[in-house]
Amino acid sequence: MRDDVLAAGITINGLPIMLKRDNNFGMFGMQFEHLDIYYEDCVIGGPGAFVIGIKERSQFKDATRTKLVVEIAGRTPQPRIVPAQAKVPRVFCS
C-alpha cells in the first residue's frame, strides 16, 4: 500500500510516539524500540517527507503542532545528509 500511495504522488510523513509505558508486570519498555528509525526507513516517503519523533510526554503538543504547521504550510524541512549505505533499511520493514 505504501508504494501505491507514493506512486500516486502522495507524501507520507511520520509522528512516531515512543513513550515508555508501564506494563502489567511493573516493568517499563517500549513495544518497538527505535520506532523513529522504522518510520524513516520503512514508512515515510515522497518529496520533503519527514519524521518528528516523540520520546517524552512534554514533546507531544509541540511535535504535533510542528508536524501540522509544516504540512499545512507546504514547507519542506531542511534536508538531512544520509550516507549512501543508509539506503538499505536499518530495521526489518515487514
- Distance between CA 58 and CA 46 in Å, rounded? 29
pLDDT tens across the length of the chain (94 residues)? 999 999 999 999 999 999 876 655 544 444 577 899 999 999 999 988 999 999 999 999 999 999 999 899 877 666 665 555 556 778 888 7
State the Cα angle at 88 between 87 and 91, rounded to 5°: 125
**What are the backbone angles phi and psi of residue 45, rounded to the nearest 5°?**
180, 165
What was the pLDDT predicted at 80?
61
What was the pLDDT predicted at 24?
56
User: Does 94 reside within a domain?
Assistant: no
- Distance between CA 48 and CA 44 in Å, rounded? 10
User: Does 92 reside within a domain?
Assistant: no
User: Does 41 reside within a domain?
Assistant: yes
Number of domains in the chain: 1
Say what the pTM is.
Answer: 0.73
What was the pLDDT predicted at 5?
94
- Which residue range(s) make up the domain with 32? 2-87
